[in-house]
Structure 1
């Protein structure tokens, strides 16, 4: 118990220190400016921050009916730099009819002439979740219900990377980190008998996971606007290692590689884009089942339940056509649609896929800020014959 309390305390101290470092860095920059420059900046900041919010009753495939809100903050950290990308902070929160609350933020921050970037995610979950086991066959054959897959999760996850531009190139390199605490309870009867759950220390009344990981990320990025690219290439490799000497409950790690490309289609009209991506994530060691490689999220193969398919390795590729309406009407010109198709897999490694996961779908786009969209997607899972609906700020990739 004492060790657990120490780990929890360390966890919250780390989160606090990260926040303090960001605030102090901004304060130090401000102090170096003259009073006159500060006055000018204050006037610009009044117009700099753009804020969009959408809220009301809704529905998600994973949590059922809810009362939710989606917010989008965009701003320039340096308003004197006309070429600096606007930082983007999408935030989504929801009160769930099934019980609980969910809050997530995915900041993309750009500093110092885009020589420094911070990409990360913070998520707090206090809601029912589902675990279908590990492996393609198990995932596919276990029915979803409160007696088979359901459990309650109280968790906070904080991960990200600080990336430094290498000279004048389009390459970035920097440290990657994660601090995560998960408490699982109200375990369904079938889940309590799962061999992976038992092997990792799971009991009928529940279990905890605590992870602290360090690693690196390297990327090549020529996208015009990362949050909603119309042109360019993005290639990224991210690796992290978790160990007991860092404070984690187990020893494990992962490496992921992702490729994205975007191309304008002027022969089809303005604001018509073809985007495609491929990603593989492979983990090793004593990986907690909550942190295995997954398929099924608003950012990959939309149509599969979140985390329904999991194993040590996952991979997918997909292409998406994005079409905004060009009209003299301001209302119509803010509307558009997207359509995609793709395929994925999960397995113990890339060379032993458990099975193929086909996927396709289409969605509505609403431009809430210049080049920033709210999306409503309808994804199809042909294996189960189900359609799932997603609501999110910014594009899937």
Structure 2
């Protein structure tokens, strides 16, 4: 009996020792793992979230619309949240309220489906703004004065232009149809504009001009870019044709042919050289608002959008892009790690046919980049118009090309 009691006491002592040892082990393990800060917990929650977005807004200025109150939003997400290897879809959106009176809404989504075997890209916009018409052709455009009594008019219009791209086998080629529906209306044309020969020839009157164009076309694309919205490497080659026809419900019969080549080469950590060659051409009974433009926020930054227009426009450009690389050891270095800059140079060529060049448009500029999401930048660009000796400022989401 005595031996039994001693054995029971030894068993309880053993259990207590094991319990104490386990407790001490738990305590030591707990002590070895530092408690996460609220900021780190919040960061981990954000990282796990599928939808990421940034919204910016405030007073702004654009060369085409003057002073305005604008806002930009950038949303990125995966169509299949559980597939972490899938490309993130990108939806940049912009809204602008003009002090002169007007509203501009635009989005250019890039949506990736089914392991990037299917894509929907495109442009969707609504505009009710004050714009300018400088005529058609280089000589007229170059010398035509910009102003309330010469070039201004009230424009309202809607564009619905989705592209549907299917991957061809296991290659980097994509092909598919696109639709382009446009309603354009011009009211309150300036006195000088009413007497322009090209405006009169298109059917414009002192009361204005309106047109509806309905097009159906195709795209063939080769795309090896790592991230289309801000590529560090790869190539993009796009060939597209559009037929606008009265048979589709439009007002005119005309055609559009475009070729867009872009190349990206990494030359260091977050350092890229990008270059592009583009050509846009229209043929047939082209509406006043559908001529090829030379000079937009996405190519020759520095030229007023629409100032140079004709049936053919060609662009050659190169751009150096660099983000600042730091070790993130201080908050200043962390901030600098989200900042970068660019410098570009290029030239535009325009004329009445693809082979007839009547105007040369040299262009250069510099820009600031602010990273709001990984590989997604806000861009602030200052471009130089070498023909009219003027500088124009731009504020946009994602890179120009």
2:389 maps to which residue?
A: 385
- Of structures 1 and 2, the larger Rg is shown by 2
Please, which runs of 5 or more residues in structure 2 have no aligned partner? Answer: 1-44
1:354 maps to which residue?
A: 358
1:10 maps to which residue?
A: none
In the TM superposition, 1:11-30 aligns within 5 A as none
- Per-residue CA deviations over 1:258-300 (Å, capped at 9, x if unaligned) read 100000002xxx1000000010011100011211100111100
1:85 maps to which residue?
A: 87
1:364 maps to which residue?
A: 368
Please, which runs of 5 or more residues in structure 1 have no aligned partner? Answer: 1-42
1:289 is paired with a residue whose SS is: coil
Decide whether the 8 Å contact of 1:130 with 1:144 is kept in 2. Answer: yes
- Per-residue CA deviations over 1:332-390 (Å, capped at 9, x if unaligned) read 10000000000001111122111110000000000000000001000000111100000
1:330 maps to which residue?
A: 334
- Equivalents in 1 of 2:280, 2:102: separation in Å? 30
2:400 maps to which residue?
A: 396
2:289 is paired with a residue whose SS is: helix
1:197 maps to which residue?
A: 199
2:308 maps to which residue?
A: 309
- Equivalents in 2 of 1:141, 1:384: separation in Å? 9
- Equivalents in 1 of 2:48, 2:98: separation in Å? 35
- Per-residue CA deviations over 1:69-92 (Å, capped at 9, x if unaligned) read 011011110122222211111001
Matched, 1:321 2:323: no
- Per-residue CA deviations over 1:35-71 (Å, capped at 9, x if unaligned) read xxxxxxxx99981001101110011000101100011
143-152 or 190-199: which moved more?
Answer: 190-199
- Equivalents in 2 of 1:347, 1:83: separation in Å? 45
- Equivalents in 2 of 1:150, 1:94: separation in Å? 19
Decide whether the 8 Å contact of 1:44 with 1:79 is kept in 2. Answer: no
- Equivalents in 1 of 2:399, 2:379: separation in Å? 7
Pairwise CA distance, 1:199:
1.6
- Equivalents in 1 of 2:51, 2:70: separation in Å? 23
Decide whether the 8 Å contact of 1:239 with 1:253 is kept in 2. Answer: yes
In the TM superposition, 1:32-51 aligns within 5 A as 47-51=49-53
Normalised by the length of structure 2, the TM-score is: 0.86
How many correspondences in the alignment? 352
TM superposition outliers: structure 1 runs of 4+ over 3 Å: 43-46
Decide whether the 8 Å contact of 1:362 with 1:379 is kept in 2. Answer: yes
1:73 maps to which residue?
A: 75
- Equivalents in 2 of 1:386, 1:350: separation in Å? 27
- Equivalents in 1 of 2:82, 2:219: separation in Å? 29
In the TM superposition, 1:1-397 aligns within 5 A as 47-266=49-268, 270-327=269-326, 328=328, 329-397=333-401
- Equivalents in 2 of 1:130, 1:353: separation in Å? 24
Decide whether the 8 Å contact of 1:45 with 1:79 is kept in 2. Answer: no
- Per-residue CA deviations over 1:96-148 (Å, capped at 9, x if unaligned) read 01211111100010001100001101111011001100000000010100111
- Per-residue CA deviations over 1:8-36 (Å, capped at 9, x if unaligned) read xxxxxxxxxxxxxxxxxxxxxxxxxxxxx
1:196 is paired with a residue whose SS is: helix
Normalised by the length of structure 1, the TM-score is: 0.87
